[in-house]
Amino acid sequence: MSPLATRVLVVGEALVDIVRRDGADAVHPGGSPLNVAVGLQRLEVSSTLHSSFGTDEHGVAIARHLEASGVTITPGTIRDRPTSVALATIDAAGTAGYAFSIDWDPAPLEVAAGTIDALHVGSIGAALEPGATIVERLLAELRPSTTISFDPNIRPQLMGSLEAARPRVERIIALADVVKASDEDIAWLYPDAMVTEIMAGWLALGPGLVVVTRGPDGADALAACGPVHVAAPRTEVVDTIGAGDSFMSGLLAALSDRGVLGGGRRETLRELSASDIADAVRFAARCAAITVSRPGADPPTRQHLAGR
């Protein structure tokens, strides 16, 4: 399946990142699911975003950003409400810390079976009520016909208690085919546990592929073929905003290139070789490396990757 023939629906928050660096503020459209949708489209994978943002100044900026990247939005996405905001403060190492003003109450969405190949969810959109319940219902409805991908992208300020958050994360993992998390996500969800132990536990819940990113230490994947490690590409870090989202869209684009997205290809995904998985994770890591080398969540195109 060619990338453009793959149809991915992304469901989750769209917001603006107000990035504070050295006392000055810059405003960038963001939100993990929005960033994944943009990253996919820039990698020539057709993406549609179902979200919730307003007609205010921030909402207009988001709509223009999505249009410029070619991302389609569902009819219920633009609504008469304030647009959510994340304040990102950048430290000396380029790492972002966040404070949020979030409203996640998306319109219900009906999706006919067979009209999409993959559904991606994660982050605040899969954790914050009342929208999180809508997301879980959609996952259960579409799983028979659709590849499900999930990135928990933990935001401790919004997740509530660990005792409440962990069961929801594990329910979604059990519905997913592809799970991508960071080592920081796992450290919050499972304090003092070994990452390899958690990856094995997640794989046993049902996914065909589990990937954990480790920043400068690269990424680890686990599938039926066994463990795979990929080193991180060398890059100059400006900030880390959108790095994991760019990795996620790169991973899905690489899986699309291999023709393994779609409910009818679930077993083919599970049977990927270690070499195929390493190549897919390496492609995703290159996408993330380009993103951290420039300000804000600005994922690459295939042309950017070819020139790197």
Task: Summarize pLDDT for 254-263 with one digit per residue, the tens.
Answer: 999 999 999 9
Residues near 137 by Cβ (< 8 Å), separated by ≥ 6? none
Summarize pLDDT for 169-222 with one digit per residue, the tens: 999 999 999 999 999 999 999 999 999 999 999 999 999 999 999 999 999 999
160 — pLDDT class (breaks 50, 70, 90): confident
What's the rounded mean pLDDT across residues 295-308? 85
pLDDT at site 165: 94
pLDDT at 23 over 90: no
pLDDT value, residue 3: 53
Check: CB of residue 34 under 8 Å from CB of residue 62.
yes
* Domains in the chain: ranges and CATH: 3-306 (3.40.1190.20)
Query: Are 39 and 288 in contact, with CB atoms under 8 Å apart?
Result: no
Place of tokens 């997740």: 159
> CA end-to-end span of the chain, whole Å?
25
Q: How high does pLDDT run on average in the chain?
A: 92
Per DSSP, what are the bridge partners of residue 19?
26, 88
pLDDT at 280: 98
- Please give the pLDDT value at position 70: 96
**One-letter identity of residue 86:** A
Residues in Cβ contact with 170 at an 8 Å cutoff, skipping those fewer than 6 apart: 202, 205
Nearest to 245 by CA among 17, 1, 4, 3: 17
pLDDT of res. 159: 85
DSSP state of 108: P
| The pLDDT of residue 148 is above 60 | yes
| Residue 1: band (very low, low, confident or very high) from pLDDT cuts 50, 70, 90 | very low
- The residue count of the chain comes to 308
Q: Distance from CA of residue 279 to its chain's centroid?
A: 19
- In the chain, pLDDT over 90 holds for what percent of residues? 76
The string of pLDDT tens digits covering residues 62-117 is 999 999 999 999 999 999 989 999 887 777 776 767 778 888 999 999 999 889 99
- Which is more confident, 302 or 307? 302
